[in-house]
Structure 1
Amino acid sequence: MPYSLPIPTSLTAEIPRLEIVPTESLVVHEQNDNQRTGPLVARLEAEGMIKNPPIIASMGEDDPRYVVLDGANRTTALSQMGYPHALAQVVDYESEAEVNLATWHHVVAGMDAETFTGMLATVEGLEYRPTDYNRARAALARRELVSYIVSASGMVFAVRGGSDLHSRCLLLNQMVDSYKEHGRIYRSATDHVAQVRNLYEDLTALVVFPHHEPAEILELARVSAKLPAGITRHIINRRALRVNYPLAELKADRPIEEKRERLNEWIKAKLAAKEIRYYPESTYLFDE
């Protein structure tokens, strides 16, 4: 077992900030995966608890809403189930000690190259030009590209289009929509196609996306614009997992203030029983 530390009852300020918030105040910044929502609703109803709360951040002092950094499908499921309130972990989006924003790329597999390129060609407003790794990386970093694509054989194509954050967001959605239903998509943190090819024998291509800044995520969320699912990767320090909070508490016909008080008492009881532990080392989970 990984080495863990019990949390002293006097250090409640050190544990993740769990809060109950109105479900309607949660704004997702990425598209929901409709194929996962139905099974997730069924699982939540069967288990009767929320295991891993969504991660949210305030959208500003003058805005009562929260942007969902991670957990779009869980948030959508709770909304579809008619829950007036949701349990979430609140983080400071401006604090690198709490959250870091990285990028996932798409590994596209199980589709022949001709079909893949044909799907991409259906998106109006995108231009594809051959290039090389270094030029593509530099241009993407300067936001001169919407994306770049590396074929299974190693050919690199620069993808141009859009003039601002919102138009590029729209094109990214259309681009991903063109291929997501025709093959398998996996997430990758690397843009090295050789590393990916070793894992996926039927690799079609690697689609590399730009890095976004937190301010851009907030800007998109404020106007209800969404990035494609599986692009933003929010790395949360001191994340709350296996909370197992009863869904009945969230659905109960009580004022939100009372629900928050009951949550605080529940957390205090967990601390007193030494059931909250902190694992400082990185781990790999094989049962997710």
Structure 2
Amino acid sequence: MTRAGTAPTAGRSTTPTPIAPGNGPRPVPAPIDGVTIDDVSTISDVVAGAEAFGHFPTTRVVLDYGGTSNTEYADAIRQLAPHSYVMAELLDSSDMPQAQDDPSAEHNRIAAYLSDLGRYVDIWEVGNEVNGDWTCAANPCDSAGYKAGADMTVAAYQQVVAAGYPAALTLYYNPGCPSDPGEPDPITYTNTFLTSPTATQMRSGLRYVLLSYYETQCDNQRPSAGALAGYLQQLHSLYPNAQVGFGEVGLPNEIGKCGPGCYDARRYPSATAQAESIIKYYCGLDPGLSYYAGGCFWWYYAEDALPYRGNAIWQAINAAFA
């Protein structure tokens, strides 16, 4: 069921929570109303869009593997934080193979982010789509590669919680449509590669466990609210202290570059039409679970929804969060 068909959810944040340097992470009420940006060069547009939302959003900032300085990120997040909660994605799944080549360098990279950005960030995403078959040095992943990625995720978690910050993990939801026959679903991945004592500690300590789902990459399947509730219940049994939800949804490319092979042209007249449908369903979903965090986090938010004035995608996101 969607929020439109249910009673209002308690706890939604409708007014900003002020932040000042040194205050550290703020508690983020559920449901989370999330969007994703992978570029801070147009932060003024991001801030304007955040201010205009009907509810106080959470902006997920992807920390690039090279290219953008910590000073640039800190400046952007300082501007954004009065108008949005901030979730920092430490390492995108596409960069995991490179990071695995030098664990010591990745440790130092994370330490620098925690030092430079920690007082402005509310949630730290310690792993992104870590069960995806493209995340290993060997492509597709083998068992050793998945284990290396799991160990790297646990190490990132340990750094984040040692600094006193809340952590999130995003898993790639692939119900019956793995990218490779050996690609595990989130539950199989957890039961296979997150079983060591340190991984078990992470499973108990994570604040959020989220799913990334791109239905266009899964035969355009749209799981029912009941099916999703059942899966999220299973996931929660493995991460008993975490809130669960969606950490990423979208199309495989930004709408302006999304041709018929990028969206379901059989069902939708345009990429925009399918994007609006995805947003309405997943960003407005309420599976009826007390530990459901919401989320959404449309991936190409900056490219598809900004500047926000007169933008159909921004309007769809705002409506889904209502």
The TM-score with structure 1 as length reference comes to 0.30
Structure with the higher fraction of residues in helix conformation: 2
The TM-score with structure 2 as length reference comes to 0.28
Please tell me whether Structure 1 or Structure 2 has the larger radius of gyration of its CA atoms. 1
